[in-house]
Amino acid sequence: MVVTGASAGIGAALAAEVARRGGEVVLAARRQEKLEEVARTLPRACAVVAADVTRRDDVARVVSTALERFRKVDVWVNNAGRGISRSVADLTDEDLDAMFRDNVKSAVYGMQAILPHFQQRRRGHIVNVSSMLARIPFASFRSAYSAAKHALNSLTENLRQDLAKDYPDIRVTTVMPGVVYTDFGLHALGGGVDSRHIPGGQAPEQVAAILADVIETRRGGDVYTRPDAVERVVQYLRDLAADR
């Protein structure tokens, strides 16, 4: 399994959970030293690739490293991303470019890079980590992040439909966590509230366990990490349609 954004947060927790369950992991992120710290905590040997997944060449290098080390890839998890703390009225061109580069293009590069390998094997699993904000944009200061994740959801579903007929064993999954207790908020463009101080969040280990279950069962479609999420989405759409 390849995990992007694996140097901290959900990515690091997922790598640990999958390794604990016996999986072999390739860790990809920009910070070499942080990746090596994560690697030292894993119960199984892994590969570490310092890479900026907003660059196609770096993503291609992650693929080649994974294949050289393990000869095949079964699962590719697009987990890298970044938030923002600006309202719609305050967004700049640079803000929009950054959000779509970090949250959409990085995932598209990953999907496009690994897909030929999956098609050759006629089997594989792409997991894109999105956000509840892609379904319910309830935090206006995350405006461009919500928009980018919504775009990611749409592209993920488009790919799922494209593969369904000829490659039914290539699974495509969108996973939508809510608030997760990581340093996501601190690293948002424009700064922001530490996500670990927002009530009602989940530990990254909880999200990682759900992701690992998705991978083990090869579940496709949409996956929410909170038990009440589907009901909240349905109610949001009802309210929106009623213009309340």
The residues, ordered by sequence, that sit 6+ positions from 38 with a Cβ below 8 Å of its Cβ are 6, 7, 8, 12, 15, 16, 27
Active site (catalytic) residues: 145
Cα–Cα distance list, 220 to 55, 60, 93, 128, 214 (Å): 27, 25, 34, 11, 8
CA distances (Å), origin 110, targets 78, 80, 180: 7, 10, 23
3-state DSSP assignment of residue 31: coil
How many CB atoms are closer than 10 A to CB 232? Answer: 16
